[in-house]
Amino acid sequence: MVLLLAQLVCAGEVFDARCVGVSDGDTLTVLRGKRQVKIRLEGIDCPELHQSFGTRARQFTSSLVFGKKVTVDAKYRDRIGRTVSRVRVNGKDASLALVEAGLAWHYRRYSSDPLLARAEAHARREKKGLWSVPNPVPPWEWRQPKRRQPAEPLTAIGARISRFLSRRD
């Protein structure tokens, strides 16, 4: 249903709405009239909730936009139907605020915004947020299945099952 509603927003459209939900640091839901629209903040990528600083990024976004009137500048729809947008609240750009706080990467793969690039460079120099730890893993790398290791190698799990079954005899 959200996918269908998201399709009602056109690229280049600017509208006011009320933020009614924050899924993670860079994804929120706004109420436009009586319709909910899923928004992905443009130009950035926040840590996933299970990564370091993921919860902090969601809390930051929540404190910035939740329950408030926001202005949505729709850019395009992503492959899962979210409206990729720049969002402003009280004149403040949410994407830029997250990068300045060190709670998001400038997502260079999809954005060439010089403001975001400078904000990330500054946050890195100042060791803000996720830049306070050595070698933070970008979420686009963390999401790659080949990069994740199972909690326990399958051979170890198999050995534990074999021991369990042998004890039952």
Active site residues: 40, 48, 82
Please provide residue 143's backbone torsions phi and psi, each rounded to the nearest 5 degrees.
Answer: -75, -15
Both tokens of residue 66?
């939740």
User: Judging by DSSP bridges, how do beta strands 69-77 and 83-89 pair with one another?
Assistant: antiparallel
Length reported for the chain: 169
Nearest residue to 41 (alpha-carbon basis) of 15, 63, 61, 12: 61
